[in-house]
Structure 1
C-alpha cells in the first residue's frame, strides 16, 4: 500500500484555528513578504497570490488589497484592475502550464463554498482532462507534482508585461 503524507493540510482539513484577522488583509499590507506569502504580482489596488490549498498546480487568486466583503464594495477602478489581473493571470497560467482549460470563479459567502467568506477574491484553477482521479474522488486527497515555491517561480517567470 502506498502512503501520501500532506501534513501541511491538516489545519485546513480539520477546520482548525486560523490566524487572527483577515489573511488577505495581512498579505495585502505585507508587500515586503511577497515571497513567503506567495504573491506573484501586485497592482495598485489588488494582488495575485498562490492558493495555499490548491486544487491543481498553479491555482491562484486575485484579491483586493483592501477588505471588501462583497461585490457591491468593488468600485469601478478596483473592478477594472482585478479583471486585468485575472487576464494576466490567465496568460501566465497558459504560458507556464499549458492547461486544457481554466476555471475562473468566485465563491461568495460560506454557503457558496468560500473558505474566506468576508474578503472577495477570484480563483483561477488550471485544468486538464482527467486531473480529478481516484485520489480526489475516493480519498479526498489531491496529489500535486510541484511545491508552491516552484509554482510561484514558474508563474513569476511567465508573468506578462503590462
Structure 2
C-alpha cells in the first residue's frame, strides 16, 4: 500500500509524464533565448512535432497543448507580427489552417475549433517573437472539472501518436 511507503505526504498532485523525458535526454529543448519555431524545422519531423512542411509555413503540434490535436501554423521566417508577414506567408497560413481543420475533423472527430493568434507578449503570446496561429479542436464535452479544480489537463494520446495520425491523414 502507498500509505506504507516512506516519505512525508504533501498536498501536491502529480501527473506522471515519462514520455517527456526524451526532450531532456536528447537535448531537444532549445536554449531559453532560442526560438522553438525556428528550431523545429531544423529537426526531423518527429523530433520537431511537425505534421506538414509547406513552401513558406509549416504545421506542428503544440508541445503544451490545450487539447489533443492542438496545432500551430508558423512561417519559417522569424517574424513577430501578422502585419509583418508577406502576402505569400499569410495566404499559405490560411490554406494550411483550412487543411488542418479538415484533417483534425477526420482524425479526432472534433465538433468545432478555436483558431487565433496572440500578437505580442502583452496580448498573451507565449512566444511573441515568432508569428504562429493556434488551431485547437473542441468537443461538446471537453470542458470538465479537471482544468478548473485541479489545474490539470487530461490528454488521452501521446504527442507522437497524434503527430503520426495527423501526418498520415494530411493530403499529399
1:87-119 CA-partner distances (Å, limit 9, x unpaired)? 111111011011110111111112222110111
Mind listing any 5+ residue stretches in structure 1 that lack a counterpart?
9-16
Matched-pair contact (CA < 8 Å) for 2:40–2:49: no
Q: Which residue of 1 aligns with 2:136?
A: 125
In the alignment, structure 1 residue 25 sits paired with structure 2 residue 38: yes
1:136 pairs with 135, 140, 147, which one? 147
CA distance in 2, matches of 1:38, 1:3: 25
In the alignment, structure 1 residue 106 sits paired with structure 2 residue 117: yes
Q: Which residue of 2 aligns with 1:80?
A: 91
Map 1:45-84 → 2, pairs under 5 A: 45-84=56-95
Runs of 4+ in 1 over 4 A off after TM superposition: none
CA distance in 1, matches of 2:141, 2:31: 33
Q: Secondary structure at the match of 2:48?
A: coil
Could you tell me how far 1:3 is from its partner in structure 2? 5.4
In the alignment, structure 1 residue 158 sits paired with structure 2 residue 158: no
1:95 pairs with 102, 106, 114, which one? 106
Matched-pair contact (CA < 8 Å) for 1:91–1:160: no
Q: For residues 86 and 53 of structure 1, do their structure 2 counterparts lie closer, same or farther at Cα, with a shift above 3 Å needed?
A: same
Q: Secondary structure at the match of 1:41?
A: strand
1:12-38 CA-partner distances (Å, limit 9, x unpaired)? xxxxx953321111113x1x5111111
Q: Secondary structure at the match of 1:79?
A: helix
Q: Which residue of 2 aligns with 1:37?
A: 48
Q: Quote the RMSD (CA, aligned, Å).
A: 2.0
Question: Number of residue pairs matched?
Answer: 151
